[in-house]
Amino acid sequence: MLAVALDAVDYADPTPIDGVLTLGVDTRLAFGPRDLPIAYGFGIDYQLGASTPGGFAYALSLWPAGVGVVIGDTAFLGVYGGGGFSGVTARVPFSGQLETEARLLCDVPGPFALSAAARAAWVAASARQDGSPSFGFPDEARGFVGVRVGHEDDKYGINSGRGALVAFDVREAFGTHGYGLIVGYQIDGLYEP
């Protein structure tokens, strides 16, 4: 799966930023033996943008360790582990972080695919720790659920699709919630071994 997306999030008080608008790339790949439905997964994602009040927002995550299950040629469920860094200049302290993510991609009837993820992060910067009010274990949390609408194809045993992605985004940081919208372009493919 590859998505190029614009992500706008509005945070409630008391965060050091009111909102953030970023443009980024989100990739997840998985592969494994033809005779097993279990796959090794990895990926990378990054975001660059701006916040209000003014600041430069940035984030980079590497996902070197993942495992996934291919369900027929219509669904993939993966769990990834990795790390990276993020921050907003003059607003949110730079921090390294360890992260874990669960991701679902599911082909549904018509030119649609369901895309969803839930992520937890443990950050090094003390000012950003214990910021997830709904969950006791991570410092920051994020989840999204959306749909990709577009062209689908089934060639060479690969169920693939591409098109517009629209998703609802929820984040937790600094003891409060942020709600947003993701709009982008997604390319996905599933191959049943």
For position 166, what pLDDT does the model report?
A: 96
For position 108, what pLDDT does the model report?
A: 86
Q: Is the torsion defined by CA of 123, 127, 128, 129 positive or negative?
A: positive
For position 72, what pLDDT does the model report?
A: 73
For position 123, what pLDDT does the model report?
A: 97
Local structure of 127: helix, strand or coil: helix
For position 122, what pLDDT does the model report?
A: 97
Report whether CATH 3.40.1350 matches the domain 2-191: no
> What residue ranges of the chain have pLDDT lower than 50?
none
Q: Which residues pair with 3 in a beta bridge?
A: 26, 186
Distances (CA, A) of 164 to 39, 92, 109, 127, 159: 26, 31, 16, 37, 17
